[in-house]
Amino acid sequence: MKKIVFIVGSLRKNSFNKSLAENAAAIIKDRAEVSFLSYSELPYMNQDIEFPAPEAVKKVREEVMSADGIWIFSPEYNFNIPGVLKNLLDWLSRPLIENDSERISAVTGLPVTLSGAGGRSGAANAKKRLSELAVFMKMKHMEGEEVSISLTPEEFASDILYLDSDRKRKLEDQTERFLRFIEA
């Protein structure tokens, strides 16, 4: 069975993106093993402590390297990706072996897809940055439409993500495409 690691770019307890990821996991059901990456304990990326890697870094790298694919769910903060997510990606992008001229990282060649829920843009700017980072990090980014949800004032007020039939269909479509993508 394929394993997919979900990375939620917000550490907030009632994160809209966590809710979106939970909905995607429910759609996947038993067709793949899904785990949510816990990375709140990561230190800030700092080359002074890069080798040997801190235990928290080793732990997230091992979980990511055991996966057949990664699905990132991210909000948008100030037209960009959240700092905690960028810190994680900085650690994951670094070479596993000191002075590795090929710069093989925990995510090199790993299939990835992106989704986001945010303000009016539906986290479009964050997804654009993540797409650029995925290419730079030598990940295998799934081409095509990925879910962007523009949150309504009612959702912000209630702190609840609503998946109407259109949103759910788009998430189901992305799920089906990603499951096929990691099989290829």
Whether residue 52 is preceded by a cis peptide bond, meaning omega within 30 degrees of 0, is: yes
Q: In terms of DSSP bridges, do strands 33-36 and 148-150 run parallel, antiparallel, or are they unpaired?
A: unpaired
Q: What is the predicted pLDDT for the residue at 16?
A: 97
Q: What is the mean pLDDT of the chain?
A: 96
Q: What is the predicted pLDDT for the residue at 151?
A: 95
- Residues 60-68 have a mean pLDDT of 98
Q: What is the predicted pLDDT for the residue at 64?
A: 98
Q: What is the predicted pLDDT for the residue at 125?
A: 94
Q: Are 115 and 83 in contact (CB under 8 A)?
A: no
Beta-bridged to residue 71, according to DSSP, are 6, 113
Confidence of residue 63 (pLDDT cuts 50, 70, 90): very high
pTM of the shown model: 0.96
Q: Is 153 exposed, middle or buried (0-12, 13-18, 19+ CB in 10 A)?
A: exposed
Q: What is the predicted pLDDT for the residue at 143?
A: 86
Q: What is the predicted pLDDT for the residue at 102?
A: 84
DSSP letters spanning 132-158: HHHHHTT-EEPPS---EEE--HHHHHH
Distance CA(75)–CA(117), nearest Å, equals 6
Nearest to 60 by CA among 83, 80, 43, 76: 43
Q: Per CATH, the architecture of 3-183 is what?
A: 3-Layer(aba) Sandwich (3.40)
Q: What is the predicted pLDDT for the residue at 144?
A: 87
Confidence of residue 3 (pLDDT cuts 50, 70, 90): very high
- Residues 161-183 have a mean pLDDT of 96
For 34-38, 100-104, 119-123, which range has the lowest pLDDT when averaged over its residues? 100-104
- Residues 80-88 have a mean pLDDT of 97
Q: What is the predicted pLDDT for the residue at 71?
A: 98
Q: What is the predicted pLDDT for the residue at 162?
A: 94
pLDDT in tens, 104-148: 999 999 999 999 999 999 999 999 999 999 999 999 999 888 999
Q: What is the predicted pLDDT for the residue at 15?
A: 96
For the chain, what are the domain ranges?
3-183
Neighbouring CB atoms inside 10 A of 160's CB total 11
Q: What is the predicted pLDDT for the residue at 150?
A: 95
Q: Residue 46 pLDDT > 90, yes or no? A: yes
